[in-house]
């Protein structure tokens, strides 16, 4: 049993695809990251070179994976016994800004990593059961188009600023790609957009709801819930068998909202930052 590392997304995809698709809900981020890297190239998320890894079980099958797109934290799947300790060894000496792991695995990794660690965020993965739309607020949903580009550039930047994430300075390519694919739903009132929600492209029947954002001036009216409900319905209507999303566990408002819409908890992850 051992880790195998590679910088080649195609090599990683060819050997890990069955493992990732065997649990598409749990592996939602891996599936969308690999898809984006294959479509847009190795620097889709930054100038640093990505690193991929797979844990081979005793019979040679893949039973765990890791993936990092610098400068983001390294993402780990659920790991079997022994894989955390071996990961510490195989990654020793590699610059690592942080890790994103299942909460149960993170403590063991952090305890063995030489740099001091600080918890940045705990997130919960939800899967949609039966969609329960909220009472509709004023307005209507529509798909964002090219005329919304400047608005979306500002909203994407504001969204990432609020979650304190590591992100690019120019969202132009991301916005153009998502608008071109019809991935962004806006809620508008009297012709003015007041909230947005986006969805990922389908992978193994799974779609993830992302980028739910309402400017502060428009909050408290139910627009975010309406946008999320609308984009969730669009994902189902497009054939998704699993619709998922993540929430920050420090935000009780969003966790309560999504559960009222029909989302049910699946697992918790923790993002840890390491001192440089």
User: Across residues 64-88, what is the average pLDDT?
Assistant: 95
Taking 60 as the threshold, does the pLDDT of residue 167 lie above it?
no
Domain borders along the chain are 2-114, 127-266
pLDDT for residue 165:
58
What is the per-residue pLDDT for 153? 96
pLDDT of residue 168: 56
pTM, two decimals, is 0.94
- CATH superfamily membership of 127-266: Gcn5-related N-acetyltransferase (GNAT) (3.40.630.30)
Q: What is the pLDDT of residues 122-155, one digit of tens each?
A: 999 999 999 999 999 999 999 999 999 999 999 9
Q: What is the DSSP string of the chain?
A: -EEEEES-HHHHHHHHHHHHHHSTTTTHHHHHHHHHHHHH-TTTT-SSPPEEEEEE-TTS-EEEEEEE-TTSPEEE----TTHHHHHHHHTTTS---EEEEEHHHHHHHHHHSSS-EEEEEEEEEEEE-S--PPPP-SSEEEE--GGGHHHHHHHHHHHHHHHT----S--HHHHHHHHHTT-EEEEEETTEEEEEEEEPPPBTTEEEEEEEE--GGGTTSSHHHHHHHHHHHHHHHTT-SEEEEEEETT-HHHHHHHHHHTEEEEEEEEEEEE--
């Amino acid at each position: 049993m051992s880790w195998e590392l590679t910088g080649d997304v195609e090599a990683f995809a060819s050997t890990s695809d069955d493992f990732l698709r065997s649990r598409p809900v749990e592996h939602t981020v891996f599936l969308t990251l690999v898809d984006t890297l294959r479509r847009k190239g190795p620097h889709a998320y930054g100038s640093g070179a990505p690193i991929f890894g797979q844990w081979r079980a005793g019979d040679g099958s893949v039973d765990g994976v890791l993936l990092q797109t610098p400068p983001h934290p390294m993402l780990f799947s659920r790991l079997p016994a022994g894989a955390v300790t071996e990961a510490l060894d195989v990654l020793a000496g590699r610059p690592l800004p942080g890790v994103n792991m299942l909460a149960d695995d993170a403590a063991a990794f952090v305890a063995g990593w030489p740099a001091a660690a600080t918890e940045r965020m705990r997130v919960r993965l939800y899967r949609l059961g039966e969609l329960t739309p909220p009472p509709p607020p004023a307005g209507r949903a529509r798909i964002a188009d090219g005329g919304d580009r400047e608005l979306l550039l500002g909203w994407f930047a504001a969204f990432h600023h609020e979650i304190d994430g590591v992100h690019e300075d120019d969202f132009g390519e991301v916005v153009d790609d998502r608008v071109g694919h019809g991935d962004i739903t806006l809620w508008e009132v009297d012709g003015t957009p007041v909230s947005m929600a986006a969805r990922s492209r389908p992978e193994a029947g799974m779609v993830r709801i992302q980028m739910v954002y309402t400017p502060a001036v428009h909050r408290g009216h139910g627009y975010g819930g309406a946008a999320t409900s609308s984009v969730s319905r669009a994902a189902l209507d497009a054939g998704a068998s699993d619709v998922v999303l993540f929430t920050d566990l420090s935000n009780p408002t969003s966790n309560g909202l999504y559960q009222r819409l029909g989302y049910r908890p699946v697992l918790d992850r923790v993002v840890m930052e390491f001192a440089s």
